[in-house]
Amino acid sequence: MDATVDGLKTKLQDSQLAEPIPKKRSLGLVDLPASVRNNIYKYALDTELVNVGEPNVSYTHSIKDGVLQFKASRSPFRVQSALFYVNKQVSKEALDYFYSKNLFIKFDIYSADARHAKTMLEDSGLLFSTASPDSLDNSKQHALELVLVEKNSSQKRASVMFPAQYLPRLVNFLSQASQTTKSWAPAHSVFINLVNTYNFSVSRIQGDLLEIFRLLSNLGGATVDANGLLPRYAEGLQANMTAPSFTADNWLKAITELADLSDSARDNGDDKTANEYSQTVVIALTYGYLTQPEALHTQPEEFHKAVQRLRWRTELGIGIALSLLHRDFTSANKTWLFNTPSPQSVTAARDLLLAEAAHSHALSLSTDSPSPTDNPWFKSLPVELIPPNKLTWFTDLERAQTWYALGMVHAALGENLFAAGDMERALELWGDSDGKEKVGNAFEKIRETIDGQREAMFKGRFGPGSGLNQAGRIARMDV
């Protein structure tokens, strides 16, 4: 061996003087993709998932200064609250996920007797919060505040916080109490106030938190704060809750008014608001058949016809509103689907795919298609609750208008072969009514585009379905 003691000492000294090799930093939570972090938040913060397999919670109560206070056998929500304190980024993401996913509702009960509040909370299964009344009063993160007042009582007897997925329990309890004792509902008033929307669409917030209240009637009073809601929505909800009883005609009248407001917004060029109103109509129709199926299904044929035409009109309006939001962009950028994705193209792809689905829904209704693939009722209702439909409830011109609208969206998505077929069907059904020339011109432009793409289609670079597939890929991007 050539190594000597002196040589080894020299090498050892040189190694000690050399720069230390930096250690690789371990992978942190913020280094993970946003989709992975959201999946972690899901299993750590979703109040339903964290309770899977856990034993039931039992509660004990006490009364202090006339107010109910509760203790639980275990934490009602075994969420990983330590995520709220990791760092600024994780804390913000975790808190946003926690409150927006669970959409907490603060529920205050005013009554002459604390025992009335205790019975209501126990029987409706809403004993979720064990925080002190003062802590709940100071909370500002929840989505909705609901106050129930018995006979103008000024004494608050209980305050609890619970996730919105349990709201139907409470509303069903109130509805049953009203039906069991005729004097119950007139002796109670409700006050509803939307506190936080978490940047969700208004229609979603109304659907998740407020639409279920249409199940109630004959209340002594109902006050819905209109702040943050679509105009006229609060007034219609209040009218439903204070009407002597639920009637199918009043229900349909209130929802038709929302559809009229959607059309009015679209006529004024406010397509975003028009879409919000249309989504609200769809949600209201669905809730109606879920909560009042017997009352609605026993109506005469003219009622069912009005419902189906309202749904057709609404689905068509949703598609038109969404497509108009991006018509200038797609017209000026014919190859937008195959350019480098931008925030605008991602939004356009998402909205146009929703528009294509909405027009397909409208077409399914107007043609009375037996296939559940595109029928919108099949997506949200059990088969036995779906309202009846007939082909004769729609005219050929209405079917033609639906095909035309679908064709325009297919063209915007680069599906010109599909669009040409849509336009051809529209022309066949249009008859001599006004507007046929517009359809013919659109058909000619689409055919010219197809002629220009023949070589690309022949080589397999662009064919039927490629535009929809590319739009789907873009829509899933986080740009």
Higher pLDDT, 327 or 12: 327
- Are 237 and 252 part of one and the same domain? no
What is the per-residue pLDDT across 2-20, written as a single tens digit (0 to 9) for each?
556 566 556 556 555 555 5
Residue 387 lies in a domain: yes
Higher pLDDT, 197 or 99: 197
So what's the pLDDT on residue 357?
95
Residue 312 lies in a domain: yes
Choose the final residue of a domain: 245, 271, 292: 245
- Are 285 and 426 part of one and the same domain? yes
- Are 257 and 128 part of one and the same domain? no
Choose the final residue of a domain: 189, 219, 245: 245
Residue 13 and residue 9: Cα distance in Å, rounded? 6
pLDDT at 306 over 80: yes
Give the mean pLDDT of the chain: 87
Residues of the chain with pLDDT > 90, as a percent, come to 56
Please give the full DSSP string across 226-291, using - where no structure is assigned. Answer: -TTS-TTHHHHHHHHHHSSS--HHHHHHHHHHHHHHHHHHHHTT-HHHHHHHHHHHHHHHHHHHHH
What is the per-residue pLDDT across 389-438, written as a single tens digit (0 to 9) for each?
999 999 999 999 999 999 999 999 999 999 999 999 999 999 988 999 99
- Are 309 and 172 part of one and the same domain? no
- Are 391 and 472 part of one and the same domain? yes
When divided into structural domains, the chain yields a total of 2
So what's the pLDDT on residue 3?
53
- Are 147 and 285 part of one and the same domain? no
| Identity at 250, one-letter amino acid code | N
- Count the neighbouring beta carbons within 10 Å of the beta carbon of residue 115: 12
Q: Decide if 281 contacts 255 (C-beta within 8 A).
A: yes
So what's the pLDDT on residue 7?
62
* Residue owning tokens 């299993």: 43
Residue 310 and residue 20: Cα distance in Å, rounded? 73
Section 63-84 average pLDDT: 81
pLDDT at 332 over 80: yes
pLDDT at 57 over 90: no
Q: How far is CA 102 from the centre of its chain?
A: 13
Token pair, residue 279, equals: 């989504």
pTM score: 0.82
H helices present in 147-247, as ranges: 167-180, 202-209, 233-242
- Are 232 and 280 part of one and the same domain? no
Residue 326 lies in a domain: yes
Among 27-41, 43-57, 162-176, 449-463, the least confident range: 449-463
- Are 306 and 185 part of one and the same domain? no
* Residue owning tokens 């019975």: 119
Strand-pairing partners, residue 105, are 144, 162
- Are 195 and 72 part of one and the same domain? yes
Can you give the residue range of the structural domain that contains 441? 247-479
- Are 439 and 296 part of one and the same domain? yes
Q: Nearest Cα to 284, choosing from 207, 184, 218, 216?
A: 207
- Count the neighbouring beta carbons within 10 Å of the beta carbon of residue 175: 19
So what's the pLDDT on residue 459?
47
Residue 451 lies in a domain: yes
Higher pLDDT, 145 or 370: 145
Distances (CA, A) of 142 to 41, 95, 369: 18, 11, 43
Residue 144 lies in a domain: yes
Please give the full DSSP string across 340-390, using - where no structure is assigned. Answer: ---HHHHHHHHHHHHHHHHHHHHHHHHTT---TTT-GGGGTS-GGGSPP--
Residue 15 and residue 8: Cα distance in Å, rounded? 11
Residue 30 lies in a domain: no
Choose the final residue of a domain: 200, 225, 245: 245
Query: The CATH number of the domain where 294 resides is what?
Result: 1.25.40.10
Residue 402 and residue 390: Cα distance in Å, rounded? 16
So what's the pLDDT on residue 1?
45
- Are 308 and 425 part of one and the same domain? yes
Among 92-96, 125-129, 185-189, 444-448, the least confident range: 125-129
Higher pLDDT, 426 or 197: 426
Residue 32 lies in a domain: no
